[in-house]
Amino acid sequence: IFTHFSLQFYSTWGVVSACPFHCVCRNLSESLSTLCADKGLLFVPPHVDRRTVELRLADNFITEVGGNDFVNMTGLVDLTLSRNTIHLIRPMAFADLESLRSLHLDGNRLTTIGPKDLAGLTNLQHLIVNNNQLVKVSVEAFDDFLLTLEDLDMSYNNLRRVPWESIQNMASLHTLNLDHNLIDHIAEGVFGELYKLARLDMTSNRLRTLPPDPLFARYILRFLFSILLNFGGNPLHCNCELLWLRRLIRGDDMETCATPTHLAGRYFWSIPEEEFTCEPPLITRHTHKLWVLEGQRATLKCRAIGDPEPIVHWVSPDDRIVANSSRTSSFSNGTLDILVTVARDDGAYTCIAINAAGEATATVDLKIIPLPHRGGVSGNTGSTLVRLSIKNMNPVYLQRSLNIYPLH
């Protein structure tokens, strides 16, 4: 027992009951610090005083945390586990750490953060998990500290996706570091409600485009809000979708365009606005007429090109946008599948290809050959429907305002 456990007394720092072997424990101004950095530890020492307020375990060889490691440490404020070899956090590992404000897990070997791995940290302000091997972070992982977190560092990992659904609710967030990952998508408007966000680093990811966000409007007045944004080192696709950014910000960092080819390698801020162009959709191929026996499957196709890649919607003969249902699948590549056709599916379908530059439409006639003996099938739903005047609508507005109904 005594090889792992020793009593140490410090007259100048006050009396400390027990301190793990090799560690240094100090009771300064009535708050206990347990300092065990760089001691060759293979696990969290079991005899840490549960009243400790600060626990430093950096630069050891700890491989996992959880179980009883931090049980009953309800007064712990600061926990440092940086530069170990942690690959596993057991669910509820930190569940008792209701006072914890700062958790350092940087420089470890974590690949995932599961839904309950950080549960119970109801006062967490700083979460530092940079330089791990993260590929997945659960959407629920941050649930217990969404409103208290001020500082989130997940840089230098392997993240393709981040849980934007939770990040957008972090009302106190001040600094967000997501640089040096593989992120290829930022959800539209995620930073809109993060009024305290002052530093956002997205350097060296795989972003091809950035959605408009109120954050960038605040950035114009950055001297007022002292906002710092970094988006360099992303393969930006400099088409009309990024024109808003080109107009908005006078850049000081070195963004370059990766595509289209004629803009490749050019400095974003030096390209004239009129060169940020898009190609409106062009429907290159589509089904013209299709005859299907009632009850059979019908596959309608509509192929469109454009820059950015157009999204294809289908409008049914009764002027409703066709959505996915148990009977129908509408794929964004332009394929509409009706698995089991019924008589009322008969009619002219319109495929609409939309992108930021415009739209194109084509008509497909679907003829359902009725089975002779079926009775009681009503021809139409009979409801009055407002005709969509798609031609004159702004495509972005159209995408947002169309109500999507399943085919019945």
Residues lying near ligand NAG in the complex (CB under 6 A)? 14, 16-17, 27, 30, 32, 49-51, 68, 71-72, 301, 323-324, 329-333, 335
**E-assigned strand segments in 157-308:** 175-177, 199-201, 228-230, 236-237, 257-259, 279-286, 289-293, 298-307
Which residue bears the tokens 């570091």? 177
Q: How far is the CB of 220 from ligand NAG (least distance, A)?
A: 35
Q: How far is the CB of 46 from ligand NAG (least distance, A)?
A: 8
Distance, in Å, from the CA atom of 92 to the CA atom of 69, rounded to the nearest integer, reads: 11
Nearer to ligand NAG, 133 or 399 (CB): 399
333 closest CA partner among 349, 316, 313, 356? 313
Q: What are phi and psi of 274, to 5 degrees?
A: -70, -10
69 closest CA partner among 38, 112, 29, 34? 34
Helices (H), 69-161: none
Please answer whether residues 32 and 26 qualify as being in contact, where contact means their C-beta atoms are separated by less than 8 angstroms. Answer: yes
Which residues are registered as beta bridge partners of 9? 15
Q: What are phi and psi of 218, to 5 degrees?
A: -65, -30
Please answer whether residues 166 and 143 qualify as being in contact, where contact means their C-beta atoms are separated by less than 8 angstroms. Answer: yes
Q: How far is the CB of 308 from ligand NAG (least distance, A)?
A: 16
DSSP 8-class letter at 403 = P
Distance, in Å, from the CA atom of 201 to the CA atom of 94, rounded to the nearest integer, reads: 28
Q: How far is the CB of 75 from ligand NAG (least distance, A)?
A: 9
Nearer to ligand NAG, 17 or 111 (CB): 17
DSSP H/E element including 10: strand 9-10
